[in-house]
């Protein structure tokens, strides 16, 4: 049975990486999907898919994405927020502008999109899944903006879970390093791509980096009735990392 049959899902970051994989999986599981991302096109062609180009930190763009879901499919009962950025730096090397850009995309973007969607989501039993990071709970060097932004996403999601239960369930997925185009680009420019990939894999007890499919499975669980008694949690999908 299709786990998301008759559901309408809004997926941010749907033009690439985890977001695109999530959008395709939701379609496969019977949902109608509105994709939302900065790119002009998503590359997804499906009669149950509509794409909106926009910025997750823009209230008007987020409102447009939600309105598109209602106009095309009559409702919205699932949100998966995948869009985000990372920048490296510590207190001395990171500029205030760069710090603010990470917070604006990762935290403010999560707030703005959830705020735009909540009015429709609370009309019927619905779900929110925000993609966070295992770095939300495990600091590493040179991530003075990214780690706090994701920690705040976790707490924001808990607040949403408390405020909008029982109608809306809100949870996060916390990936480790995932084999996406961003990581592939990082490997491509390294002096020894094989050695760097192995170093990434060695960070995890399961001895590999993650795949988009690993994250998709977690998102589908939290977006479906399989997790009907689950809200306000942060699900680590990071190979056993601590």
Instruction: With beta carbons less than 8 A apart as the criterion, state whether 136 and 174 touch.
Output: yes
**Angle at the Cα of 15 from the Cα atoms of 13 and 19, rounded to 5 degrees:** 45
Largest CA distance in the chain: 53
**Known catalytic residue at 146:** yes
3-class DSSP state for residue 229?
coil
Residue 99 φ then ψ, to 5°: -60, -45
User: Vertex 180, ends 179 and 181: CA angle to 5°?
Assistant: 130
Q: Which of 172, 38, 151, 146 is nearest to 86 (CA)?
A: 146
| CA neighbours closer than 13 Å in the CB half-sphere of residue 83 | 31
Considering the candidates 146, 164, 200, 204, report the single residue annotated as catalytic.
146
Please give the positions annotated as active site: 146
């Amino acid at each position: 049975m299709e786990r998301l049959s008759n559901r309408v899902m809004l997926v941010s970051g749907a033009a690439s990486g985890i977001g695109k994989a999530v959008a395709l999986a939701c379609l496969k599981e019977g949902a109608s999907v509105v994709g939302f991302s900065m790119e002009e096109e998503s590359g997804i062609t499906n009669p149950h898919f509509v794409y909106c180009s926009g910025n997750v930190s823009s209230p008007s763009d987020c409102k447009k994405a939600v309105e598109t879901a209602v106009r095309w499919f009559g409702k919205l009962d699932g949100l998966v927020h995948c869009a985000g950025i990372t920048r490296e730096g510590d207190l001395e090397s990171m500029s205030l502008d760069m710090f603010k850009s990470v917070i604006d995309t990762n935290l403010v973007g999560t707030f703005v999109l959830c705020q735009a969607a909540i009015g429709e989501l609370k009309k019927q039993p619905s779900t929110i899944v925000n993609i966070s990071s295992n770095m939300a709970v495990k600091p590493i060097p040179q991530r003075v903006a990214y780690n706090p932004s994701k920690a705040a996403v976790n707490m924001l999601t808990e607040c949403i879970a408390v405020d909008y239960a029982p109608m809306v369930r809100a949870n996060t997925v916390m990936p480790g390093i995932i084999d996406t185009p961003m990581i592939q680009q990082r490997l491509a420019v390294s002096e020894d791509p094989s050695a760097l990939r192995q170093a990434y894999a060695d960070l995890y007890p399961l001895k590999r980096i993650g795949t988009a499919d690993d994250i998709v499975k977690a998102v589908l669980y939290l977006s479906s009735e399989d997790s009907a008694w689950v809200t306000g949690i942060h699900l680590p999908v990071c190979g056993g990392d601590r």
